[in-house]
Amino acid sequence: MSPRSKIIILLLLTTLLLLACQQPPGVAKVTQVIDGDTIVIEGGYHVRYVGIDAPEKDESYYLEAKQANEELVEGKKVRLEKDISNKDKYGRLLRYVYVDGTFVNAEMVRQGYACAKAYLPDVKYQVYLEAMEKEARQAKKGSWR
């Protein structure tokens, strides 16, 4: 193999490695919980839970929703599942999040700390999330008290 061929192969491998490193992970450790529907994972990626909406900082049940999310995911390895969209207009990854076999998006809704909210085109589990909201409302859980 000529020296020129070796350089070309090395450049191609380096480029592929750099591209692979730029992709968000499918499994990552949660480094920070922002609120009831947003976390930060290793690499500094902000992840917004798809299909739900939790209270913002100035809304009632914000602290309870954030604390529930912290109990579920803080410091843990999570598995991230993409639907159709990769990111929202704020640059956050849009994902369904799982930890230890628990579907976190649905669990936040089931506990009453978030409501189901469709964000087209990402509606893969919307019927299920809406069923979890109905269950939480009927049981008067979380913010539905």
* CA atoms of 131 and 109, how far apart (whole Å): 9
**Catalytic residue ranges:** 48, 56, 92
Asked whether the beta carbons of 93 and 79 are under 8 A apart, the reply is: no
Total number of residues shown for the chain:
145
